[in-house]
Amino acid sequence: MNDRDRNAPSGPPSEADDDQQSTAVSDAAELRDRRADDVVRRKRQDSVRSAIKTELSEDEADAEPRPRAEDPGALEGAVIELERVYLAFDRPILEDVSFAAFPGETLVIVGESGTGKSTTLKLILRLLQPDSGRVYVNGKDIAGLSFTEALAVRQGMGMVFQSAALFDSMTVFENVAYPLREHTDLDEDAIEARVREKLAFVDLEPDEVMEKLPAELSGGMKKRVGIARGMANNAQIMLYDEPTSGLDPLTTATITRLIMKLQRELNVTSVVVSHDIRSAFRMGTHIALLAERCIRFFGTPEEMTGSDDRYIRDFLGGF
């Protein structure tokens, strides 16, 4: 794997830059207006960046040290790795996407809507197969697995969906117990004990929620039950699709803390798809920015805030 081309991108000019150059006009009035707009935008982006940095520094103060990645050349230890993945449906979705997540890391994938973030999660789960390229989970290429083999691989992963995707005909207990009943030989007492443990881990009172149906839960509680179900099998890989979307700021903070808790206490490797840049910066050890069908940026939150890339500055400025 080491012989792969991992040269850093040479930083080609963005489309916006090209457009700006090509549309450079001699009209002095238009130029003045544009410069004024740039100044306003730059000020706004600076203020957002400083706010994010402040929040980061506050988080760092009360947080345990985050596990850092291994030697970047040593991809052998990667838990999840995408290598030069291409995928198209009726149009290209992903082009030459490569990234890796190491044990205990939380990789947050951000990007505009429709850039293939959720699709990337489906590739990791082998719900989709890439047109070309490889997807490794725990060092095993899952792209070529049969459907049945893929089911076995998925049992080692937990997935939390945007809508929580709890089975609405089952109670909370049955939802969390589902993977245990399906894939383990645990007796009912052991299953109940495990369900209680997982519900307590996600800050839910087992006796209060176990017999409720998903329709009786709030959005935040559904997400937490979804996380409990995902980790019921003691999964070492957790995938989250928009875990904080549609939640109020307090619940968003709760879910974010929960994901961080999973990482710190259980050393779970997580891949999170999110639009919420503040949560992404709080929970992520690394951020991947998907744009124009490929990874435009990959690095730590600090590196992202310090980036001079025009697109990244615009992207952060939009929040």
Residue corresponding to tokens 């850092």: 68
Looking only at residues 215 through 274 of this chain, which bind another protein when binding is defined by CB under 8 A? Answer: 229, 239
Handedness of CA 273, 3, 142, 258 (dihedral sign): negative
Residue 198: HSE in the Cβ half-sphere, 13 Å Cα cutoff: 29
The structure tokens listed for 319 are 């929040």
Which one of residues 47, 155, 218, 234 is an interface residue with another protein (CB under 8 A)?
155
Distance, CA of 73 to CA of 63 (rounded, Å): 28
Element (H or E) spanning 128, and its range? none
Which one of residues 37, 64, 112, 292 is an interface residue with another protein (CB under 8 A)?
292
Which one of residues 136, 161, 173, 315 is an interface residue with another protein (CB under 8 A)?
161
Phi/psi at 91 (5° precision): -150, 160
Binding map of another protein across residues 122-151, x = CB under 8 A, - = no contact: x--x-x---xx--------------xx--x
Residue 147 CB neighbours (<10 A): 7
Per rule CB under 8 A, is residue 188 in the interface with another protein?
A: no
Least CB distance to another protein at residue 171 (A):
15
Residue 36 CB neighbours (<10 A): 10
Per rule CB under 8 A, is residue 295 in the interface with another protein?
A: yes
Which one of residues 2, 10, 23, 57 is an interface residue with another protein (CB under 8 A)?
10
Least CB distance to another protein at residue 214 (A):
10
Q: Give 229 or 278: the residue with its C-beta nearer to another protein.
A: 229
Looking only at residues 193 through 222 of this chain, which bind another protein when binding is defined by CB under 8 A? Answer: none
- By residue count, the chain amounts to 319
Amino acid at 1: M
Least CB distance to another protein at residue 144 (A):
17
Distance, CA of 85 to CA of 6 (rounded, Å): 14
Per rule CB under 8 A, is residue 15 in the interface with another protein?
A: yes
Residue corresponding to tokens 């850039």: 115
Per rule CB under 8 A, is residue 7 in the interface with another protein?
A: yes
Least CB distance to another protein at residue 40 (A):
25
Strands 237-241 and 157-160: parallel
Distance, CA of 111 to CA of 243 (rounded, Å): 15
Nearest CA-CA partner of 60 in 319, 314, 301:
301
Which one of residues 34, 86, 103, 254 is an interface residue with another protein (CB under 8 A)?
86
Q: What is the DSSP string of 10-23?
A: --PPPHHHHHHHHT
Cβ(124)–Cβ(80) below 8 Å: yes
Binding map of another protein across residues 51-70, x = CB under 8 A, - = no contact: ------------------x-
Q: Give 62 or 182: the residue with its C-beta nearer to another protein.
A: 182
Question: Which residues fall within 8 angstroms of residue 21, CB to CB, at 6 or more apart?
Answer: none
Per rule CB under 8 A, is residue 98 in the interface with another protein?
A: yes
Which one of residues 88, 190, 193, 200 is an interface residue with another protein (CB under 8 A)?
88
Per rule CB under 8 A, is residue 100 in the interface with another protein?
A: yes
Which one of residues 34, 49, 84, 212 is an interface residue with another protein (CB under 8 A)?
84
Tell me which residues touch another protein (CB under 8 A).
Answer: 5-12, 14-15, 69, 72-73, 75, 84, 86, 88-92, 95-100, 122, 125, 127, 131-132, 147-148, 151-152, 154-155, 157-159, 161-163, 165-168, 178-179, 182-183, 229, 239, 286, 288, 292, 294-300, 303-304, 306-307, 309, 312
